[in-house]
Amino acid sequence: MNKTLIITSKEFRSYFDSLMAYIMLFVFLGLTGFFTWLYGTDVFYINTASLRPFFQTAYWTLFLFIPALTMKHIAEELKTGTIELLLTKPVTYWQVIAGKFLATWLLVAVSLALTLPWYVTIASLGPIDHGTAITGYLGLLLMSGAYISIGIFTSSLTQNQIVAFLLALITGIFFQILFSMLSSVFDGTIGDIFGYLDLRNHYDNITRGIIDSRDLIYFLSVIFLALTGAEASLLKKNLN
């Protein structure tokens, strides 16, 4: 576990050694702040002390940002050959993958933590449902974890970062939109399966303040399966 945390710390610092973290934080806070306070269905427009405008904007912003954050994780290592150099040290594929996953998840958590002053400000404007606000943040973290793991998996499939980005985005679209559409097309068991695979459905349940074990199991399963897939992909490349 200590080796995983060392890799996590190294990867997290690397975000701030480049402009990636600063750009992500600036754009994320700018977009979510703009749509939460100033435009469209903002707080003042709906005239309710609610974080709903923020959660809606953050959801789509993170959906688009996360593939950009994860596209280089494994692809760059494969292209430069540094993955072999890294593995000459006493670490496993799983520790490398888990460390990269936790580093990106931590960056997302920092981004969300920086929006807590908005939560405090909105709460001061009127009565706010604190339970829904807390589960909203939890939903964003779980959704981000799922897409980060998918991004790491697609990054392990190729040496090209752009291909990794597009694969992560396309896979995300299936979880975000297409599974929901397919569940409405098919009836019976097949429709139920597509409905269960619909990530937005599980996210909406949590943000409504409903903490259901089925939703938690869904997100944790996606994270575990995607990271396991990334490990299997690296093992296959190493065997070849």
Q: Are 152 and 74 in contact (CB under 8 A)?
A: yes
Over residues 18-34, the mean pLDDT reads 84
| Domain carrying residue 92 | 2-239
User: Which pLDDT score is estimated for 131?
Assistant: 82
**Residue 152 one-letter amino acid:** I
Mean pLDDT of the chain: 84
What is the distance between the alpha carbons of residues 51 and 36, in angstroms, rounded to a whole number?
8
Over residues 21-32, the mean pLDDT reads 85
Q: Are 167 and 158 in contact (CB under 8 A)?
A: yes
Residue pLDDT, tens place only, 138-184: 999 999 999 999 999 999 998 889 999 999 999 999 888 888 888 88
Residue pLDDT, tens place only, 78-125: 777 676 666 666 778 888 899 999 999 999 999 999 988 888 887 777
What is the distance between the alpha carbons of residues 9 and 95, in angstroms, rounded to a whole number?
13
What total number of domains does the chain contain?
1
User: Which pLDDT score is estimated for 84?
Assistant: 65
User: Which pLDDT score is estimated for 228?
Assistant: 95
Question: Is the pLDDT higher at 225 or at 73?
Answer: 225
What is the distance between the alpha carbons of residues 8 and 73, in angstroms, rounded to a whole number?
12
Residue pLDDT, tens place only, 40-54: 555 555 556 567 778
